[in-house]
Amino acid sequence: MHRDEPPGGARDDVEAVTHAVLTASRLLVAVSARSLAAVEDRVTLPQFRMLVVLSTRGATKLVTLADLLHVAPSTAMRMVDRLIAAGLADRQTNPANRRETLLRLTDEGRHTVEDVTARRRAEIAAIVERLAPRQRAALVGALTAFNEAGGEPPATEPQPYPLGWEVDDGP
């Protein structure tokens, strides 16, 4: 241990925080899974990710969707075909370039994203309500610092939000 480290050491602090974040991430993954349960007969998680991209970006080219989701264009095309068959997305000609096709959400697709997001938000709010006011304030501070350290912009910024699914290889 370095002389200026507190008893227990900074490494122990990092390990304790890492453990707490991993535990919280399991909870958030479970909340996300439950929020998708109502639509899982129509939409897989990868397809829902595509719906989220379309809801934040608007009409988008297939190649761009594939890049954003880190899948092959052929995989993205199969996902799009399934979303179109389910009535959640459709194709439109790009008004700026009539040779291009854009993909966009239908009203039903937009409602699906909104419903899943509302269910997720409600469950998170129910968990937060079980915390004491002082714990809530501490959690806001801790999560804000964590998000800033990870490069995640505040949810209050205008959309589209980064999806957090990209790997940053660093500087």
Structure tokens at 50: 């595509």
Distance CA 24, CA 31 (A): 10
State the pLDDT confidence band at 151, using cuts at 50, 70 and 90: confident
20-52 residue pLDDT tens: 999 999 999 999 999 999 898 889 989 999 999
State the pLDDT confidence band at 11, using cuts at 50, 70 and 90: confident
pLDDT greater than 60 at residue 136: yes
Structure tokens at 28: 């958030």
Distance CA 73, CA 51 (A): 16
Walk me through the domains of the chain, giving residue ranges and CATH numbers: 30-149 (1.10.10.10)
Calculate the dihedral angle through the C-alpha atoms of 90, 54, 59, 102, rounding to the nearest 10 degrees: -50
Distance CA 75, CA 59 (A): 18
Distance CA 56, CA 3 (A): 49
pLDDT greater than 80 at residue 164: no
pLDDT greater than 90 at residue 74: yes
Structure tokens at 64: 């761009």
